[in-house]
Amino acid sequence: MNAHLAFFLAASVLVAADTPSKTTRDDRDRFQGTWRVVTLVDNGKQAPREAIQDARLIFEGNHFSLQGARQDYRGTFKLDQDQDPKSLDCTYHEVGGSDNGRAFGIYELDGNRLKLCWRHGGKERPHAFTSTEGSGTRLLIAERE
């Protein structure tokens, strides 16, 4: 094999290895759609099953809504998938209300399962996927519909 051909083949392999595959998707793309809430823990207290049985988390573009829970929310979100754990910043308001706020959280996507943990009111971002009494955190687990 001549040296030029060997160099070209080696360079092609290196470029191909560095190029993301077409099947790799950005997390924001993977968020899109409707997610059924299966678990919600607020400040260490598990939400009763009947309180979340109709709850859906819907992502469209950079907008989200939580519907069917005791409180409905809408807002916008921004992800940083380069953080460890991955981070989520939300600006939200209650549907039909003027109360606006921010929440800083973390997320984990595992196939058709989404795990979110956040604090409302612009407080410090949680570092783990837990919600204990007095922590001021909410932990939500959802599955793709």
Confidence (pLDDT) at 70: 76
Domains in the chain with CATH codes: 30-144 (2.40.128.20)
Q: Which residues contact 83 (CB under 8 A, 6 or more apart)?
A: 106
pLDDT at 121 over 50: yes
Distance CA 62, CA 68 (A): 20
Q: Where does the pLDDT of residue 11 fall: very low under 50, low under 70, confident under 90, or very high at 90 and above?
A: very low
Answer yes or no: are the C-beta atoms of 120 and 103 closer than 8 Å.
yes
As a whole number, mean pLDDT of residues 10-14 equals 36
Say whether pTM exceeds 0.85. Answer: no
